[in-house]
Chains A and B, each alone.
Chain A
Amino acid sequence: MKSDKSELERLIRKYKKIVFFPSEEAAEFAACIPETILRDGDILILCAEAVFGQGLPEMPDTVIRLSEKETEELVRLYSTYEFTDNFIMIAENSSCASVFNFVGNGVLTTEEAWQALVV
């Protein structure tokens, strides 16, 4: 991904939802993305190099591998403010809860949690 804001703006306008996996700790979540979401042309997956090798398939239009620098910049931006409402970062975060808590206690299945995130 081109490391500039104009490219990010273009992606925000183009995709209904952008899901970002910034670290290896997020790999377990990336590994269980339903196929339907991976193949949804309106959803873009951005992932760090470390996550990319954990079973996420190569899909040139909807899965983009980010460099370490791009990943760091995007994490920093996301943690600074809400720059759009169609971007989600999936990461282990001890300071807040996530919809995946419902998977741990059986209220939702993994597929349902993913559907909730991208709807």
Chain B
Amino acid sequence: MDRQHYDEMVEKLNWLENQGLLAGRQIYLFGYCNATEELVGLLHERAYTISAILDNNLSKQGTCYEGIEVCAPKAVLCSAPDHVIVCIAARAYAAMERQLREMGYAGLVEKMVDYNSYAEYSLTDETICTKRARVDRGVEQINAYKRKYSGCFRIYCPFSALGDVYYMMSYLPYFLEQKRASGYVIFIVGGACAQVARMFGAGQIEILTQREMDEQIQAVLYTGDSSAFIAHHDRPYVQTVYRALYIKKLTLEELYRCGVFGLQENSVPYKPNYLEPYPQSDRIPRGRSVILSPYAKSVTNISGSYWRQVIAYFRNQGYELYTNVAGDEEPLEGTLRLAVPLSQIQSVVERAGVFVGLRSGLCDVLKWADCKKIALYPDVYYSDTRWKMEEVYHLDGWENVVVEN
């Protein structure tokens, strides 16, 4: 969960407390995901008891997180609605809220984070007016960028995910050639994603806030802007590429290659050519080190005990162990801290010899690294599809390990 959304969730929690909406109520959380895990942590810090985590995913039901059982959503109906609050930190708030109401739940439902500024399931004049003002803000912004980058094609990456940006950049040259684009500019959220774009040689990059990105994309849609392209498989709401997963098993890379860019299956991806060596690589024992990456923004974490087993396994074979961290992430116990820029991480893992990571966008960034590469997957389904996460995020040339609950 990124810092902005986390802070938003803390603010919402403070508001709920101040309004007296938590004390004395049975608290249910809907949607078992990384954001919900963060919310559990916050609630436990404040000494609240959570009755259950609700989830539609059958493979998650019956499991436990921090002593809290994961149940089917109908479990919320066992409690009197006046004494219940359902908090939703997951992304699909609108659909979840509707599901609860259709089930007959009449109690409080609170959105903890607003991920989806595009959606408001209402047709009131007030809603339309608010959303129209949002479009106007977006139009003002895109007009300014059209003046700044006159004659350039604008590429929007709606979501701050390293893997999405990586695959977008891998196949973008084909798209630009087809459009006969003489120049292009990438619009992106977050510095890390900008680093990925630079690794592929993108010279013109604009880093936006999520709000700016959403507003500009909405303006692109509203104006039918033919000098812009929204390069994503499921954002915003008009995108239907991801729906192919309801019919066929496809990897994330295939969604971009064949769906977003409409290329043939055998199209060859471009590789990132603007990589750098890590200046302190001498301190990493060559071929006898393991770089661990235990954190991911949008994937359910793997248990600490599993990582301790991984660490013990490699230590017993004489490896030096490092945890690659970003921001305020902490290294795993018994490992050394590394904080390496994305453009240098490939040189680090190749020096080390082994990389073990929770499947995240960092694994995509290391796709071509010449070393032993192990990607760990929680044993869950991808979104509401019938494919397991490993099937959609599978990486060729890697050891893909599913960690059972």
Contacts and interface: CB of A to CB of B under 8 A. Distances in A.
Interface of A: 5, 8-9, 76-85, 88-89, 93-99, 101-102, 104-108, 112-113, 115-117, 119
Given A79-B222, A95-B230, A102-B259, A119 B250 contact: no
Interface string B296-329: 0000000000000000000000000000000000
A80 B132 CA distance: 6
Contacts of A5: 123
B248 A89 contact: no
A81 B131 contact: yes
A116 B246 contact: yes
A115 B247 contact: yes
B119 A82 contact: yes
A16 to B, nearest CB: 13
Interface residues of B, number: 49
Given A95-B220, A97-B259, A105-B263, A80 B135 contact: yes
Interface string B231-272: 011001111110111111010001000111111110000000
B359 interface: no
A79 to B, nearest CB: 4
Contacts of A82: 116, 118-121, 236-237
B244 A102 contact: yes
Contact of B244 (A83, A89, A96, A116): A116
Contacts of B94: 85
Given A95-B230, A116-B243, A116-B244, A85 B95 contact: yes
Given A81-B218, A82-B237, A8 B262 contact: no
A80 B247 contact: no
B62 interface: no
A112 B247 CA distance: 7
A102 B258 contact: yes
Contacts of A76: 222
**B128, B247, B259 pick with most chain A CB within 10 angstroms:** B247
B238 A96 contact: yes
A99 B254 CA distance: 12
B225 interface: yes
Contacts of A93: 224, 238
Contact of A80 (B95, B131, B243): B131
B221 interface: yes
B84 to A, nearest CB: 25
Given A80-B135, A95-B220, A96-B238, A119 B243 contact: yes
Contacts of A80: 128, 131-132, 135, 218, 222
B122 interface: yes
A77 to B, nearest CB: 7
**A76, A89, A95, A113 pick with most chain B CB within 10 angstroms:** A95
Contacts of B246: 115-116, 119
A116 B263 CA distance: 19
A102 B128 CA distance: 34
A95 B179 CA distance: 12
A85 B119 CA distance: 9
Given A96-B232, A108-B247, A117-B240, 6 more contacts: A77-B128, A98-B239, A99-B240, A107-B248, A107-B250, A116-B245
